[in-house]
Amino acid sequence: MLSTSSLMSRTLAASSSKPTHTPQIPLTRRRLQPEQIQALQTLYELKSHPSKEERAALARELNL
C-alpha cells in the first residue's frame, strides 16, 4: 500500500512532466488586394517555381 506522501509525490511528478498547452489565437484570413494578386501573377508568369527566398521577399514587399 502506498503512503499518502508517496502518492502525492508521484502525482506531482507526473503532472509536472506533461507539456504545457498554450492556447493559440487563430489567424484571421484576409483577402488579397488586386495589386497583390497582380504581383503574385507576374512573379509566377516569370518563374513557375520561385525559390523560398523569392517568395519571402515578395511577401515582405506586399506585406503578406
The sign of the torsion formed by the CA atoms of 41, 47, 50, 56 equals negative
Per the model's pLDDT, the better-predicted residue between 52 and 27 turns out to be: 52
pLDDT tens figures, 3-28 = 555 555 555 555 555 667 778 888 78
Q: Is the pLDDT of residue 49 over 90?
A: yes
Considering the entire predicted model, what is its pTM? Answer: 0.51
